[in-house]
Structure 1
Amino acid sequence: MAATIAFDIQNDRRGDIRAILARSGSAGHPHVQSLLLPQARLHDLTDAVHAVCAVHGNHPSMIDYAMARGIQIETLPWLIQSSNAFAHERAFLANLTSAAGPLPSTPGQAQTDAALTQLRQTLEMLANSDRRGCATGAVCALILDWRTIRQLLDQAARRFGLSAPVNQLPEPLLDMTEEEAATLGLARARGFGATQLLVQHRVLWDLLEARASARRG
């Protein structure tokens, strides 16, 4: 266990977002895996669509906050492209949420609403961080992890009779220049931002898994 933890810390310090995603991305969460099965329960898919919309369906998005903050100015063209593409994802989410219908009856809805609000606020704080590289790492992780989330949304669209648009999000900024790589603070900030984004997504899936269990209980 100690060797694994040390390896994870080294990846975070190097800003190795691919390795961080492989360790903590949504694709490895059991609830996400269950939602991607053809026999996934419609109530569970509906709940997931509403929750993802509650976290990522608002404007401004965390990408918009990072763009407006402009701490790492050299990333601005990429952030603008990412923001424009994510606007299409928000529109898809809105249509999908409407097609999914009302939330399934689940105990503890008020607590869920509060948890989703807190989660969204945490992502906004990451995007507004004054630490150079933190928002870049978080947005990179979002773009990568969104590929898995988009598989889930596409699955829901098929079940609810919608056509899913093409995901237009650009490639994340994974590679750093030699000068950036030598700046330990920047690499650490990127790793921190990516890790914290993925932690919040895991919190989301844990919450939805608990809600699915409560509905069946």
Structure 2
Amino acid sequence: MSVESVPFDRQSGSWSVLAALAEADGSAHHPFVQAMSARGAATRDLADAIHLLCALHGRQPGVIDHALAHGPNAIAESWLDEAAYAFADERALLARLTAAAGPIPSTPGQAESEAAVTHQLHALDMLAQSDRTGCAVGAAIALVLDWRAIRHVLEAAADRAGFAPLPSTLPIDADTATLAATIAADPAIERAMSFGAQQLLAQHRALWDLADARKSARDRH
């Protein structure tokens, strides 16, 4: 199911919409993520996935940091502050895993891959710094929700590297649901949050599609 096919139903509430988007089009359902999360994934493919993730989310400021710095209201600021603090640990884990993975695996079309990730970075920056009220928060919420599936890839890479990462401390659903319900009293803000979430998830899908294409290119050579 594509994100565009998920209806924006105000009767279900903003939290239900965001949760449904993450469930329908989050990373958990992508075949490449499922393959990397399972035992037996090729080391080079797992290493490549970690490098791509680090390129997209290993920098600071990232999606949550931009959203926090972009003047959220007091309620959103508290949640974003907690999320940014927790994501700093995820960023540190990504850096450790990238170092453990070694050089990025040699793959045909490397220049094109780098250009694609650069485009994705630009898209995420635009979302997280959008002047459309609710868009940046929606993107940040989608990142937190989708990170659960991404965490499985990180944990698989950590296991391959011989260590166990600390549990994630990203905001729990109850806190995120309260945030979504509180700030989305205005239908326009609800729609903006949904849009931000949709676009963030689309960028993640594009990253996994790229990783899968790179895997196929290596397998052919």
| TM-score, structure 2 normalization | 0.90
- Structure 1: state its 5+ residue gaps: none
CA deviation string 1:57-93 (max 9, x = no partner): 0011111111110144431111111111111111111
- Does the 8 Å CA contact 2:64/2:140 hold for their aligned counterparts? yes
- Does the 8 Å CA contact 1:134/1:193 hold for their aligned counterparts? yes
1:105/1:186 Cα in 2 relative to 1: closer, same or farther (>3 Å)?
A: same
- Does the 8 Å CA contact 2:44/2:105 hold for their aligned counterparts? yes
CA distance in 1 between counterparts of 2:150 and 2:182 reads 33
- Does the 8 Å CA contact 2:135/2:194 hold for their aligned counterparts? yes
CA distance in 2 between counterparts of 1:152 and 1:189 reads 29
Q: Alignment partner of 1:9: what SS?
A: coil
CA distance in 2 between counterparts of 1:48 and 1:90 reads 15
CA deviation string 1:166-206 (max 9, x = no partner): 21111252346777555210110111011100000000000
1:36 positional shift = 1.2
Tell me the amino acid that sits aligned with residue 10 of structure 1.
F
How many residue pairs match? The answer is: 215
1:211/1:65 Cα in 2 relative to 1: closer, same or farther (>3 Å)?
A: same
1:86/1:127 Cα in 2 relative to 1: closer, same or farther (>3 Å)?
A: same
Deviates more, 1:80-89 or 1:48-57: 80-89
- Structure 2: state its 5+ residue gaps: none
1:185/1:35 Cα in 2 relative to 1: closer, same or farther (>3 Å)?
A: same
CA distance in 2 between counterparts of 1:19 and 1:177 reads 13
CA distance in 2 between counterparts of 1:93 and 1:21 reads 22
- Does the 8 Å CA contact 1:12/1:20 hold for their aligned counterparts? no
Q: Alignment partner of 1:10: what SS?
A: coil
- Does the 8 Å CA contact 1:57/1:90 hold for their aligned counterparts? yes
Tell me the amino acid that sits aligned with residue 124 of structure 1.
D
| TM-score, structure 1 normalization | 0.91
| Alignment-derived partner of residue 144 in structure 2 | 143
Q: CA RMSD in A?
A: 2.2
| Alignment-derived partner of residue 205 in structure 1 | 208
- Does the 8 Å CA contact 1:133/1:190 hold for their aligned counterparts? yes
Structural mapping, 1:85-100, within 5 Å:
85-100=86-101
Tell me the amino acid that sits aligned with residue 53 of structure 1.
C
